[in-house]
Amino acid sequence: MAPTRIRGALNIGFQMMITIGILIANLINYGTAKLEYGWRVSLGIGAVPAIMLCVGALFLGDTPNSPIERGKIEAD
């Protein structure tokens, strides 16, 4: 769904955000390790971006291949 002229930049940005996310997750786990129920806090914090992604996916438009995958060769 990315425009052709910025597709490479978005891919590199995606890779960088994955790496930063791993770093943040490790820092959160380190910070909550000493709490009695730290694993619950860590899991709850990790659920927030997951829920945001699931809700955001509901608003994505169709890709050019979506109708073909559904068996609709002709565009509506």
The answer to whether residue 6 sits within a structural domain is no
Tell me which of 62 and 41 has the higher pLDDT. 41
Q: Span 36-53, mean pLDDT? A: 93
Radius of gyration of the chain (CA): 19
pLDDT of residue 75: 59
pLDDT of residue 63: 80
Query: CA-CA distance, 27 to 41, in Å (whole number)?
Result: 13
Q: What is the pTM of this model?
A: 0.64
Measure CA of the first residue to CA of the last residue in the chain; give whole Å: 19
The answer to whether residue 46 sits within a structural domain is yes
The answer to whether residue 76 sits within a structural domain is no
- pLDDT tier, 76 (very low <50, low <70, confident <90, very high otherwise): low
The answer to whether residue 26 sits within a structural domain is no
Q: Span 2-14, mean pLDDT? A: 90
The answer to whether residue 64 sits within a structural domain is no
Burial of 29: CB neighbours in 10 Å, binned 0-12, 13-18, 19+: middle
